[in-house]
A and B are shown apart, each in its own frame.
Chain A
Amino acid sequence: MATRQPMPVQDPAERRKNFNEVALGYTEEQAIAEAERCLQCKDPKCVQGCPVNIDISAFIANIAEHDFDAAIRTIKLTNALPAVCGRVCPQEVQCEEYCVLAKKGQPIAIGRLERFAADYESAKGVVSPQKAKSTGKHVAVVGSGPAGLTAAADLAKAGHSVTIFESLHEPGGVLTYGIPEFRLPKAIVRQEVEYIKQLGVDIKVDYIIGRIKTLDELRKEFDAVFLGTGAGLPNFMGIEGENFNGVYSANEFLTRVNLMKAFRFPDYDTPIKRGKKVIVVGGGNVAMDAARCALRLGADEVSIVYRRGEDELPARREEIENAKEEGIIFRLLTNPVRILGDDKMKVKGVECIRMELGEPDASGRRKPLAVKGSEHEIEADTVIIAIGTSPNPIIFTGSKGLKSTPKGTIVVDDSAMSSIPGVCAGGDVVTGAATVISAMGAGKLAAQTINEYLNK
């Protein structure tokens, strides 16, 4: 059996100094060779693992036949953001996990092939989609992250007139402000957003639902509403010293770097503190992104501080490996107890305690317990807190009857409908912080539900 084509990447020693994309993408030859490994199963299992139901074996067959135009057409039948998905989906626990080749060897590199097809089209010039025949119905989509963009694309394809309301000055949500340039170039996000606009979707930026207009008002003006407002509210640890200078939420740090391009200060006006010794608290993808950004801003030493062990790190394996290659230090089974500052309230270190893993908790994960007397100090001038996010409550301002959980997430039924008829919700605002692709899957489901609701 042929082995999986490796992904060409930027050399770690080089890439830790720049914000250019790490993974360089397959050449045509590599893509074809990889596509030829696909067994073209009669009953393909891979598609079960894809939340947006791409006809995976079909587009891979197109690539194997050198028909790249057909490949991207196939993908875009169900997925409006292939260049994004091909880059940031955790394929190892999605489509590729179901690939039959995974049982004996390496699964087909489905994500890399999807990316190849999308990048091929982008290099050639994206073909404008055909606009659907109008149904005369108007749908509002709140939030332009992966859930909102996917819902909007599907609703527009169904012929509805779609308006997206976005609070920031650029669409994309976490794709724009959260995921760094070196994993997902912003030019690619812009291009995918452009494609969605070409489907006839109107995007209003600088527009905050809950401030300019309430959800109740929106519901009166539109035939249906989709809420994809995400989980953008950063959680802090509630420990001493967390408001000292030099302590950032990962959201603030990444927003400054990615959305405001602080890595190009002073050409761009937004400043950022370029720390020399940086500690990132947390073990998810956001923590990896923040750590790798801090490194690229010129830090001498960046450590990840995580209270569980290596096996429990929630980040994608590939990102952990990338971070290690770039020289990020992993301080596992370690938890901050307070942040230390100088007389000017500036961070000078973090007092941490060592942890050990106890019995599994309700979620099945082993509960970390502090080891008494193991307190120790780690020197730092910058601390980035990446321990998760919660839904932003602004959407609930003036939305009577929108049911939420104690965690602040919106309650929906199996079809993504909220407690208000005609108002669907999906993505992080329903699940709490999760993945791009699960948000897209939720956007798809909601679009289908809204279609059925409007056709009644």
Chain B
Amino acid sequence: MSYRIIEKRDMVHQVHLMRVLAPDVAKAAKPGQFVIIRIDEQSERIPLTIADYNVAEGSVTIIFQEMGKTTKRLAALRAQDELEDFVGPLGTPSEIEKLGTVVLVGGGVGVAPVYPQARAYKAAGNKVISIIGARSENLLILEEEMQAASDELHICTDDGTKGHHGFVTDVLQKMLQNGEHVDRVVAIGPPIMMRAVTGVTRPFGVQTIVSLNPIMIDGTGMCGGCRVSVGGETRFACVDGPEFDGHKVDFNLLMSRLAVYRDEESSSLKKHECKCEGGK
């Protein structure tokens, strides 16, 4: 199979948006689900969350950050290029229901998967409060979109260039301390940020859903590469998740498993970069 890229846009430094023609995936996609892509024959399979989908056009939008060889190669592609494989929708969709007030927390490129959820929670009749963060103002993504999808939007930057100077957890902590009634928190971002969010909500007893990002290969439940420990039980994030009760997740295990191939990843990237530079 092959899947044509119909739009490729650089959002902020090293973060890119790609709209890909995949009508079957677009038709079935729901918030909280993801796809697995493979660029070509030699490429690995990597999971990326569905940021948006358009049934009429038959397109699915992914937003990704350049991290290693595969995402760098992906970033080098342009509209009209094709991806060999675009498999999805995968994972169990988010349980979107009318609860009252839902706080959505997105960190870095994690704002991308938060966005469709914000819209869905809003459409379901919830008061949506969003807290989005980035290292610096120029790395913030989807600010306008999140503004439109939320009743309240809080922006945080690590360096204080925009909004609150500090972490998303500071804003959330203050909100809960001030007695804001929150029925659910959804947090998506780096594991360390999701762990911090669960640390903030735990004493308040607020249900906290996180979307886990372990290493995946097939994404269909046949290998267990993505296994995580939730409430002491082994679960496969690709079929049982990727969303879980954040208060039950073993984040230390998740983070240690994410680091397994660090050496291989860096050698693969180094080799790729040498080749690219050598070619110039």
Contact = CB atoms under 8 A, between A and B. Distances in A.
Contacts of B1: 169, 204-206
Name the prevailing secondary structure of the A interface residues.
loop
B224 A251 contact: yes
Given A269-B70, A394-B220, A208 B225 contact: no
Nearest to A250: B223
Contact of B264 (A236, A265, A344): A265
A129 B217 CA distance: 36
B42 interface: yes
B87 A169 contact: yes
B63 to A, nearest CB: 21
Interface in B196-236: 217-218, 220-225, 227-229, 234
Contact of A266 (B24, B25, B222, B267): B267
Contacts of B265: 271
B89 interface: yes
A243 B28 contact: no
Interface string A163-176: 00001110000000
Interface stretch (A29-37, A252-260, A312-320, A357-365): A252-260
Contacts of B143: none
A252 B223 CA distance: 4
Interface in B65-79: 69-70
A142 B245 CA distance: 33
B90 interface: yes
A270 B39 CA distance: 12
A264 to B, nearest CB: 9
A115 to B, nearest CB: 27
A270 B69 CA distance: 11
A270 B220 contact: no
A176 B217 CA distance: 15
Given A169-B38, A243-B257, A265-B264, A236 B224 contact: yes
Nearest to A265: B264
A275 B228 CA distance: 22
Given A206-B87, A208-B90, A255 B264 contact: no
Contact of B90 (A211, A236, A243): A211
Given A206-B87, A245-B256, A265 B221 contact: no
A242 interface: yes
A424 to B, nearest CB: 22
B260 interface: yes
A392 B268 contact: no
Nearest to B223: A252
Contacts of B42: 267-269
Contacts of A213: 24, 28
A249 B42 CA distance: 23
A255 B218 contact: yes
Given A206-B86, A271-B264, A394 B239 contact: yes
Which of A167, A206, A249, A346 has its CB near the most chain B CB atoms (within 10 A)? A206
Interface residues of B, number: 44
Which of A169, A211, A346 has its CB near the most chain B CB atoms (within 10 A)? A211
A66 to B, nearest CB: 40
B229 A255 contact: no
A24 interface: no
Contacts of B271: 266
Interface size class of chain A, counting residues whose CB lies under 8 Å from the partner chain = 35 or more
B83 to A, nearest CB: 10
A233 interface: yes
A392 B220 contact: yes
A200 interface: no
A372 B39 CA distance: 53
Contacts of A393: 221, 239
Contacts of A204: 1
A131 interface: no
A207 interface: yes
Contacts of B257: 243, 245, 345
B220 A243 contact: no
A248 B265 CA distance: 18
B89 A234 contact: no
Nearest to B22: A206
B85 A169 contact: yes
A211 B89 contact: yes
A336 interface: no
B85 A206 contact: yes
Contact of B24 (A207, A234, A252, A346): A207
Nearest to A269: B44
B183 interface: no
A233 B226 CA distance: 13
Interface string B226-269: 01110000100001000000000000110011011100110110
B173 interface: no
27 contacts: A167-B87, A169-B1, A205-B85, A206-B86, A208-B87, A208-B90, A211-B89, A211-B90, A212-B24, A212-B28, A232-B222, A236-B224, A243-B228, A243-B229, A245-B260, A246-B260, A249-B223, A249-B225, A251-B222, A255-B218, A256-B217, A266-B264, A266-B268, A267-B42, A268-B42, A269-B42, A392-B221
Interface of A: 167-169, 204-208, 211-213, 232-234, 236, 238, 242-243, 245-246, 248-249, 251-252, 255-256, 260, 265-271, 273, 344-346, 392-394
Ranked nearest first, the 4 interchain pairs of A and B with the lowest CB-CB distance are: A271-B264, A252-B223, A232-B222, A269-B44
Interface of B: 1, 24-25, 27-28, 38, 42-45, 69-70, 84-90, 217-218, 220-225, 227-229, 234, 239, 252-253, 256-257, 259-261, 264-265, 267-268, 271
